[in-house]
Amino acid sequence: MSIIGFIGSGNIGGTLARMAVAAGHDVVLSNRRGPDSLAGLVAELGPNARAATPAEAAEAGDLVVVTVPLHAYRAVPVAELRGKVVIDTDNYYPDRDGRIAELDDESTTTSELLQAHLPESRVVKAFNNIFFKHLPVLARPGGDPERSALAVAGDDEAAKRAAAAFIDSIGYDVHDVGPLAEGWRYQRDTAAYVPYFGSAPTGGPDFAAAPRRVTADRLEELLRAAKRYRDM
């Protein structure tokens, strides 16, 4: 079992922390407002959880999840994450994050931006294309025929294996999409973005419906069908 650090403890961070504790990991949570604001979540999670500053959570984690609004990525601690595996859940929403020129012209991708900010860390892109409420609902033990797969991308194979072991421990198979530069294939608005949603009669995602299983084969099909923003 590992210590999982969290930079960001909101919808995705809080959900993953609950799943990590249920799987037997320890968690160190952090956010923007400070440890006191996380007292409720820590109390809910029990003795395997504590709250800290982002630098402390980065330092404590065997593996660290960065899960903040993308506009805050430059605030992610650098020195404390040196040499570590960093899972990046962040997505680019210009209305929330402001315009980021190198994402708009598609000369880079969100996780490559974080990797450039953390040059000595090993970034793995994961959990970007699943709605946080679906994460605990679709989780299944290893070998369960109804298990779903989650996409990972990264430039460091050992880091991807470490991320995969964590993802497996909380209930998902892993589908390797390749290097970080391929991460655009499951970015916002692509075919492989939030495929776990049931479809509403209008064709859009149905927030009320139960999520649906996505196998690695189905994910691969959607990833291959993904289009660049410029080709949409």
Ligand X SMILES: NC(=O)c1ccc[n+]([C@@H]2O[C@H](COP(=O)([O-])OP(=O)(O)OC[C@H]3O[C@@H](n4cnc5c(N)ncnc54)[C@H](OP(=O)(O)O)[C@@H]3O)[C@@H](O)[C@H]2O)c1
Residues in contact with ligand X by the rule CB under 6 A: 7-13, 30-33, 37, 54, 67-70, 72, 75, 89-91, 93, 127-128, 131-132
Nearest to 162 by CA among 217, 49, 84: 84
Q: Whose Cβ is closer to ligand X: residue 1's or residue 37's?
A: 37
Q: Whose Cβ is closer to ligand X: residue 54's or residue 164's?
A: 54
- Measured distance CA(125)–CA(37) in Å, rounded: 27
Nearest to 197 by CA among 182, 207, 184, 186: 207
In the complex, minimum distance from the CB of residue 199 to ligand X, in angstroms, rounded to a whole number: 18
Q: Whose Cβ is closer to ligand X: residue 151's or residue 159's?
A: 151
Q: Whose Cβ is closer to ligand X: residue 13's or residue 211's?
A: 13
Nearest to 75 by CA among 85, 90, 61, 94: 90
Listing from the earlier edge strand, what are the strands of the sheet with 49-51?
49-51, 26-29, 3-7, 63-66, 85-88, 122-126, 149-154, 173-178
Q: Find the radius of gyration of the CA atoms of the chain.
A: 17
Residue 149's DSSP bridge partners are 173
Closest CB to ligand X: residue number: 10
Q: Name residues whose C-beta falls within 8 Å of residue 65's C-beta, 6 or more positions apart in sequence.
A: 4, 5, 6, 7, 8, 13, 16, 86, 87, 89, 127
In the complex, minimum distance from the CB of residue 68 to ligand X, in angstroms, rounded to a whole number: 4
In the complex, minimum distance from the CB of residue 145 to ligand X, in angstroms, rounded to a whole number: 26
User: Phi/psi class of residue 177: alpha, beta or left (left: φ > 0; alpha: ψ in -120 to 50)?
Assistant: alpha
